[in-house]
Structure 1
């Protein structure tokens, strides 16, 4: 890829939430924040050693990780693995101590290792330790992690990334099509971003939204990805310096490369990544879930056909109940086909396994966000309540017209899904 680095809008201190909201959050455009946004974070001093050039404080990170020493590590696949069908990178669990030791000793085995999706903040909170970073005010309207906390300390969307130079996170869109911010604690990154308006051109068949996606924008076969040349013209390439924070809007596909330092070419790159969503991203996140559900439905179409045949046989045979029993009877009373309750149940279970959530979880997140938005203490760092209400109502209207929503309302699977939100808005 021959795109040259460009400049993103650069937000300097003092940071205005209204500026960010009007110029970036609502229009869904990326930007960079100067070092002052996160300069007070404790991790800038605790995660790094003070001497020059700065380096990782390995003993401190190992102490934070504690007895749970395994982390998710991505490494380059071997030629033999690729011959056997493995992807260019392989994900495996390894001991953090081993990874840090390989880097510290300069071993060639450490080259290409990348610790990703490390839930260190969650683990730290479980241990009752002080937070090593605080979400900046401009990003604090965070429905996703706020909702996660209502379920206890089971999961979050706050991650530490730690990778050797020249490692890459290949082209992707963030989870749920959510927003993210990423702060470089140590080192530099190159970001290549593509606006949602051109994301279809990143696929092998632009008219087929689930066709093959480009993996690495540096090595694109133009004969296979015929939309690439047009997509490349819209690419935004930016170098993120140490201490800076980038805002990546939801729906923007992006690839990220860890750049070697001229003063310390083997020094790992360390960053904090944080996914979040709120009313400004609600329609996009809703559509992403709809797309995931449709993909799951396509993948088990044979199950739907089997259910239709099964219930038709039972109808002809005079049986009033099948698997699903009372729920299917209620679905029939609501004017729905009796097999649909079982079908929706199957699809929702699959989408939860595949994507991490379904309608119940989505509306749980929205309910948390609506309720939190009514707190006067947070209203200076969120859109106006009228805007939030309008966005939620738009999503409710789209949801209520869906066939699976009708099925869920008629069964005990989800008779209250979306209803609490409707009352609160």
Structure 2
């Protein structure tokens, strides 16, 4: 199977417009007939062409033989399928973990809940007490979320007592530009550990990224809204973020997809799909945010939109005499600082990422001898990057001239051994 080039459009394909067989809305389930890590279902080409380019979600079951080898699957779960707290405390006892207090208000805006940190051991002690109380309403519901478990894994200074990396990313998710270029102390790979009844508010993933999430133990329920369907929760154009309303959730199969995810299953959530997630039972899961050539143009467009919102905010500030001093709509430095604070990324960080990926792919081309599939993957990345640079980045009036010079130099380089992309 050959890798298809993405159509670098700002408009996201959805289940409604990419495949006539996809109505009513439903999720495609992928079950591995082969337990071979190189089998057809695990082939990155298959997943790229079928799901990433079409921006369609799927639920992946297995492969059992591959995932059984993960230390997380062997050690984090008891023989009866429950979370193995004894092992986890021994491994992560003194690690400081982020904990969010979950409210009963399902309409709570994403990021609007109270967060704190505590030692992993203290969190587990709370968790067991909460479970023993039968999840009593008199106790707070605390959810361990966004734990960067891999950052210093195996480092005794952080309290981690196990040298084993808990898992290996499946080949279908391996093309991950975001985590490939993230710093050692901050990545987009997380562990979630939550009691029955905890939940995550309605949101789309950071930067417009893809996400994948595998349940190591427990069961989750997802409501997935295709791009645009989240507008039913937006009460006005001035509302910064749609807020979930169970009374206006819509019709399953028409407005959203409901997915019940079991232990050992992995869900793929495409770019721009808003989702709300409930833990039906006690759950521990591994989650990645990521992007690559399939959705990089959408990531760039989201960044452009975020900058436009910053400029609009500054324009409103400068219309007020008391707030005008020091702010100018066309002050690029000021805009980029605010963009970084609001969006988590600005033009500089995005361009540095793109240049980093370009240099890595150019270097990798020097080493190929008899690995045509990997070479094809690298050449595809370079072709997508060249398109992004030529048709989007170099045409952006807000992009600093120093980056335009760097991009022009990058794409002027000849590929090793006379290759072309």
> Normalized against structure 2, the TM-score is what?
0.75
Secondary structure (helix, strand or coil) at the match of 2:70 reads coil
- Counterpart of 1:399? 393
* More displaced stretch, 274-283 vs 196-205: 196-205
User: Is this contact kept in 2: 1:172–1:255, CA < 8 A?
Assistant: yes
Q: Quick one: structure 1 residues 174 and 154, their matched pair in 2 at CA, closer, same or farther if it must change by over 3 Å?
A: same
Deviation at 1:133, TM superposition (A): 0.8
- Counterpart of 2:344? 356
Within-5 A mapping of 1:55-74: 55-74=82-101
Count of aligned positions:
363
- Counterpart of 1:8? 28
Q: Quick one: structure 1 residues 91 and 379, their matched pair in 2 at CA, closer, same or farther if it must change by over 3 Å?
A: farther
Map Cα deviations across residues 13-66 of structure 1 (whole Å, 9 max, x no partner): 33222221111011111111112153321111222233x2x3333343334435
Alignment root-mean-square deviation, CA: 3.6
- Counterpart of 1:104? 128
Q: Which one has a larger percent helix, Structure 1 or Structure 2?
A: 1
Gaps of 5+ in 1: 221-227, 261-267, 312-322, 324-338
Deviation at 1:9, TM superposition (A): 2.8
Secondary structure (helix, strand or coil) at the match of 2:99 reads strand
* More displaced stretch, 138-147 vs 58-67: 58-67
User: Is this contact kept in 2: 1:204–1:213, CA < 8 A?
Assistant: no
- Counterpart of 2:178? 144
What CA distance in whole angstroms lies between the structure 1 residues aligned with 2:329 and 2:198? 46
1:244 paired to 2:244:
no
What CA distance in whole angstroms lies between the structure 2 residues aligned with 1:245 and 1:95? 28
- Counterpart of 2:373? 380
What CA distance in whole angstroms lies between the structure 1 residues aligned with 2:185 and 2:279? 30
- Counterpart of 1:234? 255
> Normalized against structure 1, the TM-score is what?
0.74
Within-5 A mapping of 1:115-194: 115-124=144-153, 129-148=163-182, 151=183, 153-194=184-225
Larger radius of gyration: 1
Secondary structure (helix, strand or coil) at the match of 1:196 reads coil
What CA distance in whole angstroms lies between the structure 1 residues aligned with 2:255 and 2:340? 33
* More displaced stretch, 370-379 vs 91-100: 370-379
Deviation at 1:184, TM superposition (A): 0.2
Q: Quick one: structure 1 residues 232 and 382, their matched pair in 2 at CA, closer, same or farther if it must change by over 3 Å?
A: farther
Deviation at 1:305, TM superposition (A): 6.9
Q: Quick one: structure 1 residues 418 and 340, their matched pair in 2 at CA, closer, same or farther if it must change by over 3 Å?
A: farther
- Counterpart of 2:78? 49
